[in-house]
Amino acid sequence: MPDSAPLVTDPFARFSEWMAEAEASEPADANAMILSTAAPDGSVSSRTVLLKAADTRGFVFYTNIESRKARELAANRHAALLFFWKSLGRQIRIEGIVERVTEAEADAYFATRPRISRLGAWASDQSRPLPDRTTLEQRLAEYEAKYPGEDIPRPPYWSGYRVVPEMFEFWQNMPFRLHDRTVYRRAPQGWTIGKLYP
């Protein structure tokens, strides 16, 4: 939002406002976010994941904890998120420290997933080499036979992560590339707020 609008002092409240507007305007997956992680050697990788929970504790996504992203987070708990909503001319950058969700949180979310997605969590050795598509389909069929009903346990190697923010940047597209950028940084007594040149 431009300077003429009242400034929201709570970045989580501002995030909620922008997310609600994105959900009303984006054609699909307003909760898609780019997750960037870094390996011990300093190399960086990014991928799109889906935001599954957001509150004042942070921003949660779920994955195979033996995947590349999880291995990198085990070595370096710093991560960055990027939400970009082209229809609104907005983006939010978030940087913070990652922690694992509780077992209860992971179980509760896993139970809400479609059956095939739950079976897919068992069938996929995420991020590791796959000989061909047929191999994945065969593994999925094996787990369909093993778990024929709805009672499908969460794999021990599947869980969630919460990015606990240290910084937010809210970017609003403005005419002539004179964009509005507002930065929130965590401080001992709350959040500091400042502006950046476009």
For the chain, what are the domain ranges? Answer: 11-113+155-196
Token duo for residue 135: 């191999």
Residues belonging to the active site: 177
- Domain 11-113+155-196 classified CATH 3.40.718.10? no
Mean pLDDT, residues 158-166 taken together: 98
In the chain, how long is the greatest CA-to-CA distance?
A: 60
The CA distance from 32 to 50, in Å, is 5
Provide CB contacts within 8 A for 168, sequence distance 6+: 11, 14, 15, 92, 93, 94, 183, 184
- The reported pLDDT for the residue numbered 127 is 87
- The reported pLDDT for the residue numbered 48 is 98
pLDDT at 100 over 60: yes
Model pLDDT for residues 78-98, shown as the tens digit of each residue: 999 999 999 999 999 999 999
User: Among residues of the chain, what percentage have pLDDT more than 70?
Assistant: 97
Mean pLDDT, residues 151-169 taken together: 97
- The reported pLDDT for the residue numbered 6 is 62
- The reported pLDDT for the residue numbered 4 is 52
- The reported pLDDT for the residue numbered 63 is 97
pLDDT at 3 over 90: no
pLDDT-wise least confident of 1-5, 113-117, 121-125: 1-5
The CA distance from 118 to 64, in Å, is 12
First and final CA of the chain: distance in angstroms?
A: 13
- The reported pLDDT for the residue numbered 8 is 83
Model pLDDT for residues 14-54, shown as the tens digit of each residue: 999 999 999 999 888 999 999 999 999 999 999 999 999 99
Which residues make beta-bridge pairs with 62? 160
Provide CB contacts within 8 A for 70, sequence distance 6+: 63, 64, 161
Q: What is the dihedral of CA 96, 97, 103, 105, to 10 degrees?
A: -10
Provide CB contacts within 8 A for 129, sequence distance 6+: none
Burial class of residue 72 in the structure, from the number of CB atoms within 10 Å of its CB (0-12 exposed, 13-18 middle, 19+ buried): buried
* Number of helices and strands in the chain (H, E): 5, 9
Name the region of 147 (left: φ>0; alpha: ψ -120 to 50; beta: rest).
beta
Mean pLDDT, residues 148-166 taken together: 97
- The reported pLDDT for the residue numbered 1 is 44
